[in-house]
Chain A
Amino acid sequence: MNSKSRKTVFRVLIYFLALVFVMISIFPIIWLFFTSLKDRVEIFSIPPVWLPRPKAENYVREFSGNNSRFPFLVNSIQVGLVSTLFTLIIGTLAAYSIARFPAPAKKNIEFWILSVRMMPPVAVIVPLYLIMRSFRFLDKTAGLIVVHIAFNLPFVIWILAGFLRSIPKDVEEAALIDGCSWFQSLWKISLPLAAPGLATTSIFSFMFSWNELLAALVLTGRNAKTLPVAISEYWSNTQIRWEAMAATSMVHVIPIIIVTFLIQRYIVRGLTLGAVKE
């Protein structure tokens, strides 16, 4: 009896602690959401307005009319999808090569690819700006896509190589014996088996591009601006339009929340893949 009630107390304690941490994590998101529903007066009032009267005017104002942020949303989607697609294609080929083919100095190449990730983006952004300028790729979504692919490739190759390596070779070898070319083996056997890995990397790839600020800040202007840049433009030395910032931010954040819930298992798998030896 005694130990049973102790177990219950313990469980309650665990739930309570979990809730505390979860509340700490989530309250800024909730606060952001409610801020996006406030008007100017409610923003500045003390004590703070916890539950403002729901109104959509901030969203409407920021996403329509002459100064609409809507094109930037479209840019973000476009850059995210296209860069993810190409990162996957190039990355899968490279990962497959690393995982399955005897290539010279493989270990070094792998490490070198990973070390590219160490480069602080601020360091290469000026050369990239100058390169993009000479190719007339500035302020075009294509330019930003090209750069995002470069930033994403190392990580994607690293993760995919891990996934592909973990697939037992026998299935592939059986296919090869049966007369498949390496390409057919890749396309019909390995890729489907590595589907979770592909899902994980495409999600990470898209999220990186969706969230990326610095390259977008420098390489885009009026036309190709993405949402993070638009959000950063709310920051100012003077009165920040909190309610407008909140509305635009929510539009940026809601897809992330939805995606996180849908594929959280893949996220966890992806993060832990390199970290934990299965």
Chain B
Amino acid sequence: MQKSRLKRIGLLLLLPALVYLAFLSVYPTIYAVLLSGKDVNLARPYKALFVGLGNFFRLFQDDLFLKSIYNTLKIALVSIVLELAVGYVVAEIFDKRLKGMEILRTIYMLPMMVTPVVWGLVWVYIFNPNFGLANYLCDRLGLGFQPWFASADTAIWSLILVNVWQWAPFTAVIFLAGLSGIPATLLDAAAVDGAKWYQVIRYVKFPALKYVAMVVILMRMMDNLRLFDLVYSTTQGGPGSATETMSFFIYRHGFKFFNVGYSSAAAIIVLVMIILLSQLLIRIFYRGGEISE
């Protein structure tokens, strides 16, 4: 078949997807950009005003928005570090491939398969200061009464705990696959050379997992920056503004106050942040080389 005919067929096959995404992903994004230049309320659309970059200026002076950026980054970074650490340890454990591990591994994966809404509510129950399981155990272990979600100091850490609990399995599964991809010959060679286990980890395993880790960091970064469901079903941004994430800020202005213009402007900023951060990460890991994701 001629190349041009192939090209045409190829394009034809691609067309439905492109058209679909154009209408339902690109168009809404452009719409959001247009909205961000207006001061408009969903309940009173006839009073819309064009304000250009006004919303963006207001955002950068909005304490709550700036706090939400800080909170989101804090949650994202701490969560990722913990997920990598826990994920690696668990991957090493399951990599030993003992009998019956596959079932255990499957059970370990369950948290990430369930919708965060359910986990939010379950953990709110567990973390309830008065009749929750967590404080009951803390009391028995002599650790005393913890406020968990109820105090501005501990709320964000409780949120991070739940987040890591849910997603460490994701990291573990990917690391596990990465570990199993290391050629046995390499490990044998290291053993022959008399390398200790920590040297093996540092000089053989870590380099082998570098690409995998980058993908994990990238994906978890994107997910953590968009964190919403968990906040919605646990703290709703409180106490005070301790757990206000960027997505929740956007939601508050969009669906509690219905200031959809202001909300869209915040959303655009978040989108730009995600794009810049992922570009930055890719560049850090790949100084120059081409990636096929």
A–B contact via C-beta, under 8 angstroms: yes
Known contacts being A47-B136, A213-B232, is A264 close to B109, with CB within 8 Å? yes
In contact, B222 and A117 (Cβ under 8 angstroms): yes
Question: Is the beta-carbon distance between A26 and B254 smaller than 8 angstroms?
Answer: no
Say yes or no: A240 contacts B124, CB within 8 Å.
Answer: yes
List the A side residues contacting B177 at CB < 8 Å: 268, 271-272, 275-276
Inter-subunit contact B255/A218 (CB<8 Å): yes
Main DSSP-derived SS at the B contact region? helix
Query: Given A123, A149, A211, A271, which contacts B271 in the complex, CB threshold below 8 Å?
Result: A123
Q: Is B288 an interface residue (CB 8 A)?
A: no
Q: Are A228 and B10 in contact (CB under 8 A)?
A: no
A128 CB–B CB distance under 8 Å: yes
Known: A21-B108, A272-B177. A123 touches B32 (CB 8 A): yes
B77 part of interface (Cβ distance < 8 Å): no
A25/B114 contact (C-beta < 8 A), A31-B122, A97-B11, A117-B222 known: no
Query: How far in angstroms is the closest Cβ of chain A from B238?
Result: 10
Verify B13–A271 contact, CB threshold 8 A: no
Within 8 A of A (CB), among B163-188: 165, 169-170, 173-174, 176-178, 181
Tally the A-B contacts, defined by beta carbons under 8 Å. Answer: 277
| Residues of the B chain whose Cβ atoms lie less than 8 Å from the Cβ of A28 | 111, 119, 122-123, 126
Question: Does chain B have a CB within 8 A of A74?
Answer: no
Indicate if the CB atoms of B96 and A120 lie closer than 8 Å: no
Residue of B nearest to A101 (CB): B10
Q: Is A93 a contact partner of B125 (Cβ separation < 8 A)?
A: no
How far does the alpha carbon of A231 sit from the alpha carbon of B117 in the complex, in Å? 7
Task: Choose one: A35, A120, A150, A246; the contact of B24 (CB below 8 Å).
Answer: A150
Pick from B174, B176, B254, B278: contact of A125, CB under 8 Å: B254
Interface size class of B (residues with CB under 8 A): 35 or more
Interface of chain A: mostly helix, strand, loop or mixed: helix
Residues of B within 8 A of A260 (CB): 106, 109-110, 113
Q: Are the C-beta atoms of B93 and A268 separated by less than 8 Å?
A: no
* 14 A-B residue pairs with CB within 8 Å: A11-B98, A14-B93, A94-B17, A94-B18, A102-B7, A116-B25, A120-B267, A123-B250, A126-B42, A153-B20, A214-B229, A249-B121, A264-B106, A268-B176
Interface residue ranges, A against B (CB under 8 Å): 11, 14-15, 17-19, 21-22, 24-26, 28-29, 31-32, 35, 43-48, 90-91, 93-94, 96-98, 100-104, 109-111, 113-128, 130-131, 146-147, 149-150, 153-154, 157-158, 182, 207, 210-214, 218, 228, 231-232, 234-235, 240, 242, 245-246, 249, 252-253, 256-257, 259-261, 264, 267-268, 271-272, 274-278
Taking CB as reference atom, which chain B residue is nearest A249? B118
Is B110 a contact of A25 with CB atoms below 8 Å? yes
Indicate whether B145 reaches chain A with its CB closer than 8 angstroms: no
Q: Are B118 and A32 in contact (CB under 8 A)?
A: yes
CB–CB B293/A274 < 8 A: yes
Assess whether A275 is in contact with B32, with CB atoms less than 8 Å apart: no
Chain B residues with Cβ below 8 Å from A122 are 226, 228, 247, 250-251, 254, 267, 270
B89: min CB distance to chain A, Å: 8
CA distance A207 to B116 in the complex (A): 12
Chain A residues contacting B105 (CB-CB under 8 Å) are 264
B286 interfacial by beta-carbon distance below 8 Å: no
Residues of B within 8 A of A98 (CB): 14
Cα of A25 to Cα of B114 in the assembled complex, Å: 12
Q: When chains A and B are docked, how far (Å) is the Cα of A114 from the Cα of B120?
A: 28
> In whole angstroms, how far apart are the Cα atoms of A29 and B177 in the complex?
26
CB distance from A3 to the nearest CB of B (A): 14
Minimum CB–CB distance from A269 to chain B (whole Å) comes to 9
Asked if residues B25 and A118 are in contact (CB atoms below 8 Å), the reply is: no
List of A residues within 8 angstroms of B20 by Cβ: 90, 149-150, 153
Closest-CB distance, B199 to chain A (whole angstroms): 18
The reply to whether A252 and B31 contact each other, CB–CB distance below 8 Å, is: no
A203 vs chain B, min Cβ distance (A): 10
CB distance from A160 to the nearest CB of B (A): 11
Cα separation A126 to B105 with both chains bound (whole Å): 39
Q: Which 9 A-B pairs have the closest CB atoms?
A: A101-B10, A123-B267, A94-B17, A150-B24, A211-B115, A97-B13, A127-B31, A272-B177, A127-B28
Assuming the contacts A44-B131, A218-B255, asked whether A276 and B216 have C-beta atoms less than 8 A apart, the reply is: no
